[in-house]
A = this chain, B = another copy of it.
Amino acid sequence: MQFTNIRMGITKTDQFTNKQNSIATLAKAIGHPARVAIIEYLLKVDSCICGDIVNELPLAQATVSQHLKELKNAGLIKGSIEGNAICYCLDEKALAKLQNYFENIAKHLEKKKSKCC
Protein backbone atom coordinates (compact mmCIF):
# COMPACT_ATOMS: atom_id res chain seq x y z
CA MET A 1 0.00 0.00 0.00
CA GLN A 2 2.88 2.35 0.80
CA PHE A 3 0.96 5.29 2.18
CA THR A 4 3.18 7.92 3.74
CA ASN A 5 2.51 9.17 7.24
CA ILE A 6 3.75 12.72 7.57
CA ARG A 7 4.52 12.16 11.26
CA MET A 8 6.55 9.02 10.76
CA GLY A 9 9.56 8.94 13.03
CA ILE A 10 8.24 11.48 15.52
CA THR A 11 7.63 10.44 19.10
CA LYS A 12 3.91 10.68 19.94
CA THR A 13 4.44 12.84 22.98
CA ASP A 14 0.85 14.04 23.15
CA GLN A 15 -0.43 10.53 23.69
CA PHE A 16 1.23 10.22 27.08
CA THR A 17 0.91 12.00 30.40
CA ASN A 18 3.08 14.95 31.39
CA LYS A 19 4.68 12.89 34.08
CA GLN A 20 5.53 10.10 31.69
CA ASN A 21 7.04 12.55 29.24
CA SER A 22 8.92 14.29 32.02
CA ILE A 23 10.52 11.08 33.29
CA ALA A 24 11.32 10.01 29.74
CA THR A 25 13.03 13.34 29.03
CA LEU A 26 15.21 13.10 32.13
CA ALA A 27 16.07 9.45 31.48
CA LYS A 28 16.84 10.13 27.85
CA ALA A 29 19.30 12.85 28.83
CA ILE A 30 21.13 10.37 31.05
CA GLY A 31 21.00 7.77 28.31
CA HIS A 32 24.50 8.41 26.99
CA PRO A 33 27.76 7.40 28.69
CA ALA A 34 29.34 10.80 28.10
CA ARG A 35 26.48 12.48 29.93
CA VAL A 36 26.66 9.93 32.74
CA ALA A 37 30.36 10.75 32.98
CA ILE A 38 29.62 14.47 33.14
CA ILE A 39 27.10 13.98 35.93
CA GLU A 40 29.52 11.80 37.88
CA TYR A 41 32.30 14.32 37.46
CA LEU A 42 30.14 17.16 38.70
CA LEU A 43 29.23 14.98 41.65
CA LYS A 44 32.82 14.01 42.38
CA VAL A 45 34.38 17.44 42.52
CA ASP A 46 31.96 18.48 45.21
CA SER A 47 31.45 21.97 43.87
CA CYS A 48 30.75 23.76 40.66
CA ILE A 49 33.07 23.22 37.76
CA CYS A 50 34.35 26.16 35.87
CA GLY A 51 36.11 25.16 32.73
CA ASP A 52 37.76 21.77 32.85
CA ILE A 53 34.94 19.54 31.74
CA VAL A 54 36.24 19.27 28.20
CA ASN A 55 39.62 18.03 29.43
CA GLU A 56 37.92 15.35 31.49
CA LEU A 57 36.17 13.71 28.56
CA PRO A 58 37.53 11.74 25.60
CA LEU A 59 35.54 13.82 23.15
CA ALA A 60 36.05 16.95 21.08
CA GLN A 61 35.11 20.31 22.53
CA ALA A 62 32.15 20.73 20.20
CA THR A 63 30.78 17.34 21.20
CA VAL A 64 31.12 18.00 24.91
CA SER A 65 29.41 21.34 24.49
CA GLN A 66 26.52 19.59 22.78
CA HIS A 67 26.15 17.06 25.58
CA LEU A 68 26.21 19.84 28.16
CA LYS A 69 23.47 21.59 26.24
CA GLU A 70 21.30 18.48 26.32
CA LEU A 71 21.78 18.04 30.04
CA LYS A 72 20.89 21.68 30.48
CA ASN A 73 17.77 21.43 28.31
CA ALA A 74 16.61 18.44 30.30
CA GLY A 75 17.10 20.47 33.48
CA LEU A 76 19.72 18.18 34.97
CA ILE A 77 22.46 20.79 35.20
CA LYS A 78 22.62 24.53 35.61
CA GLY A 79 25.27 26.79 34.12
CA SER A 80 26.27 30.34 34.91
CA ILE A 81 28.90 32.57 33.37
CA GLU A 82 31.90 33.01 35.63
CA GLY A 83 34.38 35.36 34.01
CA ASN A 84 36.01 33.61 31.11
CA ALA A 85 34.60 30.19 31.88
CA ILE A 86 31.18 28.72 32.53
CA CYS A 87 30.30 27.30 35.90
CA TYR A 88 28.28 24.10 35.84
CA CYS A 89 26.61 22.20 38.60
CA LEU A 90 23.94 19.57 39.09
CA ASP A 91 20.30 20.46 39.61
CA GLU A 92 19.23 18.76 42.81
CA LYS A 93 15.53 18.88 42.05
CA ALA A 94 15.74 17.00 38.76
CA LEU A 95 17.89 14.29 40.29
CA ALA A 96 15.64 14.08 43.31
CA LYS A 97 12.72 13.56 40.97
CA LEU A 98 14.42 10.56 39.42
CA GLN A 99 15.47 9.23 42.79
CA ASN A 100 11.89 9.45 43.97
CA TYR A 101 10.53 7.80 40.89
CA PHE A 102 12.77 4.76 41.14
CA GLU A 103 12.39 4.48 44.86
CA ASN A 104 8.66 4.33 44.37
CA ILE A 105 9.02 1.58 41.79
CA ALA A 106 11.40 -0.37 44.03
CA LYS A 107 8.95 -0.17 46.92
CA HIS A 108 6.09 -1.42 44.77
CA LEU A 109 8.19 -4.31 43.54
CA GLU A 110 9.29 -5.14 47.06
CA LYS A 111 5.67 -5.50 48.12
CA LYS A 112 4.58 -7.70 45.29
CA LYS A 113 7.66 -9.95 45.32
CA SER A 114 7.34 -11.23 41.79
CA LYS A 115 4.30 -13.47 41.66
CA CYS A 116 5.49 -14.96 38.41
CA CYS A 117 8.30 -15.14 35.77
Q: CB within 8 Å of B: which residues of A?
A: 11-13, 15-17, 20-21, 23-25, 27-37, 39-40, 43, 46-48, 58-59, 78, 80, 87-90, 92, 95-96, 98-99, 102-103, 105-106, 108-109, 112, 114-117
Contacts and interface: CB of A to CB of B under 8 A. Distances in A.
A30 B27 contact: yes
Nearest to A98: B102
A66 to B, nearest CB: 13
A32 to B, nearest CB: 5
A92 B11 CA distance: 27
Given A24-B32, A24-B36, A15 B58 contact: yes
Given A43-B105, A99-B106, A116-B48, A30 B23 contact: yes
